[in-house]
Structure 1
Amino acid sequence: MSRFFGKIRQAGYVVDDIEAAMDYWSRTLGVGPFFYNERVPIENYRYKGEAYQPHNSVALANSGELQVELIQTRNDVPSMYRDFREAGHRGLQHVAYWTDQYDADLERLIKQGFEVVMSGEVGQNGRFVYFDTHYHPGTVIELSEVAGPKGRMFDAIRQASETWDGSDPVRPFPDLSKL
């Protein structure tokens, strides 16, 4: 457990082929089912202070309490994922900590000297920030808000993994507007 953030709740992997990665994780590692969104609807996305329109595909599954996130960038929008790939890396890019007190935690971390590089929102109460903590591959830190529908979706994904029998390994993302 991190003394700054609490439990690591997600490990985010940047991959070249998300379909192949989901197949590997589910067949070889037995992790699943994956909930897949070919184009995650990211709003208010900013990278180093500038606004962009990213096209990222994401797949989420759990192994116990730890959520595995697979990310494939589909356009060349500036991002920490693109930076990671351009540096020749693939695999673990970030670890995420979840919070239902996003504003307070973000303020606390900024006061401690953490600098935001990338941010955005996925649905209501689904804000996220990535901090400038890339000291070696896999060390970027994400703070992710889970107070609303996004948190309920993450709960549903974890619950699906608890009884998963290996069938139907790839499923669509739940509709956040209905959670």
Structure 2
Amino acid sequence: MADHPIRQIAYFVPDVRAAALVHHRHYGSGPYFVAEHIPLRTSLHRGVARPFDHSSAYGQWGPLMIEFVQQNNPGPSAMHDLYPERSGRQGMHHVALFVDDLAAEIARYNAAGHETALYAEMNDGFAFAMMDTVAQTGHMVELYQPVASLTGFYDYVAKCAARFDGTDPVRTITFT
């Protein structure tokens, strides 16, 4: 991870809107952009095709993006690996890194003994992976390549945060 700075810290929560609002009130972060039921064309949990219906809130807190993630469907997932379903537990889930070659980084993590907890692709082909580094770090690591759609979104969130006056701290967006 030394070659890749942390770009995002993500928390698993039962309600992304409520979590974003609490974080904003406590730390002044935001604004947060909420995407409901993010569409995935591929979702593999530990190599098995499984649905992963999730919503996320994305905001800025200083130099880092903060993400709150809720899982909308029951069943096994990288989220429930750390926070079992119906346990009521929530907390930090992963940090995200930009990598030059997603497949090569997945292979490197796998070779180091870190299983791929989630491999997913959005409808536009954007892919990401969640690597199980829990035994080593206490959390997972999300990997993705810095493609234009992703870096543009990161830039947008950061620019909105730079102008943020506290008005409308939780907003809705749509990913197709």
* Range moving further from structure 2, 72-81 or 109-118: 109-118
Name which of structure 1's ranges 94-103 and 50-59 shifts more when overlaid on structure 2: 94-103
1:126, 1:146 within 8 Å by CA — same for their partners in 2?
A: no
Q: Does the 8 Å CA contact 2:38/2:175 hold for their aligned counterparts? A: no
RMSD: 2.2
What is residue 142 of structure 2 aligned with on the other side?
Answer: 142
Would the aligned equivalents of 2:35 and 2:174 in 1 still touch at CA under 8 Å?
no
Equivalence for 1:161: 161
- 2:97 aligned partner: 97
How far did residue 175 of structure 1 move? 5.0
CA distance in 1, matches of 2:124, 2:69: 21
> Counterpart of 1:68?
66
1:44 and 1:125, CA in 2 relative to 1: closer, same or farther beyond 3 A? closer
**Corresponding position of 1:81:** 79
Does the CA-based 8 Å contact 1:99-1:144 persist in structure 2?
yes
SS at match of 1:9: strand
Matches of 1:104 and 1:55, distance apart in 2: 27
SS at match of 2:83: helix
Aligned match of 2:37? 39
Residue identity matched to 1:155: D
* Matches of 2:111 and 2:29, distance apart in 1: 37
Moved over 6 A (4+): none
d(CA) in 2 for partners of 1:100, 1:65: 21
Gaps of 5+ in 1: none
2:27 is aligned, of 26, 29, 40, to 29
- Contact persistence 1:99–1:147 (CA under 8 A): no
Contact kept, 8 Å, 1:55 with 1:74, in 2: the verdict is yes
Instruction: Report if the CA contact (8 A) 2:129-2:143 is conserved.
Output: yes
Conserved? CA contact 1:123–1:150, under 8 Å: no
Distance 1:175-1:78 versus aligned 2 partners, 3 A rule: closer
Q: Distance in 1 between matches of 2:108 and 2:158?
A: 28
Alpha-carbon offset, residue 61 of structure 1: 0.5
